[in-house]
Structure 1
C-alpha cells in the first residue's frame, strides 16, 4: 500500500517543480531573445534582490502592508457588523447582500480615480487612503458572504432551546450563532488577506503614491528592469502567503473543532 506524502512534502515538491520550469523557460527565452525576453532566471532575480538591499524592500513593503492592514480592518470590520445586524434584523439581508454584490462587481480601475478625488493624495511617505479603501473594497464581499453562511449554519435545536427559555435574537446570536459561525467566518477572513494586499497595490497604481510596492513596480516596468519587477512580484506573493498562513494558524487555534480536533 502506497502511503500518501505529507502536506509539506507535496508543497515542497510543487515548489521545486515550479522553480525548475521557471528556470528552464527563462533560460530558453533568453537564449532565443536575449535581454528582451523579459523572463529572468531565478538566480538573476535573487541577484536583483541582493543588489536592491533590505532597505529598498522594507521601505516599500512597510507602506503597502500598512495600507493593506487598514483596508483589511475597515472592510472586514464593516462586513462583520452588517452580517451580525442581518441576524438581528433579518429584513436587512437583501439590502446587505445587494450591497456586497455591488461592491464586488464595481471595477477597481473605475472606482479608484473617484476615491482618489474624494480622499485626496497622501503626504510623501505616508500610506495612501485610496489604497486602503480599495483593499477594504476587495475583502468586503468575501467576508460578508462567508460570515452570513456561517451564522445561518447554527443548529436549529440549539436556537429553539434559547427561544424556549425566553432568549431574544441577540441572545441566539451571542450564545449559538457566533460559535457555529466561527469556522466559516475565520476562513472568510483568511481568504480576505491576499485580497486586501492586492487591493492596496492596485490602489497605489492609481493613488499617486511615491513609496510602496505599486510605485516600485511602475519604476521597474518603465526602466525595463525585468529582474527587479519579478523580484517585487515574488516578494509580494511571499508576504501575502505569510499573512494568509498566519490567519490560518489563528483559525485552527480559535476553532479546532472545525478540523475535527480537540481544543
Structure 2
C-alpha cells in the first residue's frame, strides 16, 4: 500500500509543510544567501521571519489584516453576487449565454496589473476607508470562476426532474428554484472555494494602486521600500495563511452543505 494512502490527510499535509519549510531554509542559507542588493540575502530564513513577526507583534499586523479582509469580503460579495445573478439569468434566458461567457472571459483575460491603474483613475483615491480600487479588483478576481462554475453546476440538473417540473406547469424560473440550484450547489461552492483566495489577492493588489492608508498590500509596499525583507515575508505569509483559511472555510461549508457529494449522510 502506498505511504500516501496509509497516512491520514492531515499527516500528508503536515509532511508537505515540513518539506517546504526545509527547502526554504536550505535555499535561504545557500542559494540565495548573497542574492539581491539586500544585506543578508533576498530570502530570509523561517526563523528570521518568525522573529520579525514576534518583534512586530499582532498589534502591527491586525489593522492591516482587518482592512484587507474588509475589502476582500466586499469585493467577494459583489463579484460573486453578480456572477451568480448572471448565471441564473442565462438559464432563464438561454440566448444570452454566449454574451455572458464573453463578458466573463474578458474579465479573466484582462491583467489585473494593467487594469489596476485605470480602475484607480476612474474610481479615484479612497474617501476614507476601504479602498474602492481594492474592492473592484477583488470583485473582478472572482467573477470568471464563479460564472463558469455556476453555469456548469446549474446545467448538471437531471433532465427527468426538469421535465417533471415542466409537466406540472412550472416555468424555467421554477426549474431554477426547485431543481437546478440543488443540483448546482456543489459546483457553486467549489467555485466560491477558489474565489475566496482570489478575492484576497485582488484586494492586496488593489491596495498597491488604490492609495489606501492601511492593508497588507500597503504594509508590504512600505516594508519593501525600506528594504525590510523579513517584514515583507512575514506579511506575505500572513496573507497566504488568510487565503488558506478562506479556502478551508468554504471547503468545510461544501462538505456539510452537500454531504451527498462525499457519500455521507446529512445527519
Count of matched residue pairs: 262
Which region of structure 1 is more displaced relative to structure 2, 108-117 or 188-197?
108-117
Q: Does 1:57 align with 2:64?
A: no
Q: CA RMSD in A?
A: 1.4
Deviations 1:226-258 (A, max 9, x none): 111110111110011011101111111111111
CA contact (8 A) 2:34 2:40 kept: no
Give every structure 1 segment of 4 or more consecutive aligned residues whose post-TM-superposition deviation is greater than 3 Å. 29-34
Q: 5, 8, 31: which one pairs with 2:7?
A: 5
CA contact (8 A) 2:34 2:42 kept: no
Report the Cα offset of residue 29 of structure 1.
4.3
Q: 113, 121, 128: which one pairs with 1:109?
A: 113
Q: Does 1:69 align with 2:73?
A: yes
Q: Residue 101 of structure 2 aligns with which residue? A: 97
CA contact (8 A) 1:134 1:199 kept: yes
CA contact (8 A) 1:29 1:37 kept: no
Q: Residue 249 of structure 2 aligns with which residue? A: 246
Q: Does 1:199 align with 2:202?
A: yes
Deviations 1:68-122 (A, max 9, x none): 0010000000000010011111111111101101111112122212221222211
Q: Does 1:187 align with 2:190?
A: yes
CA distance in 2, matches of 1:116, 1:13: 42
Q: Residue 39 of structure 2 aligns with which residue? A: 35
Q: Does 1:44 align with 2:11?
A: no
Structure 2 unmatched runs, 5+: none
Q: Does 1:131 align with 2:134?
A: yes
3-state SS in 1 of match to 2:156: coil
Residues 222-261 of structure 1: pairs in structure 2 closer than 5 A? 222-261=225-264
CA contact (8 A) 2:157 2:180 kept: yes
CA distance in 2, matches of 1:72, 1:169: 28
Residues 163-178 of structure 1: pairs in structure 2 closer than 5 A? 163-178=166-181
Residues 152-167 of structure 1: pairs in structure 2 closer than 5 A? 152-167=155-170
CA distance in 2, matches of 1:48, 1:123: 32
CA contact (8 A) 1:82 1:144 kept: yes
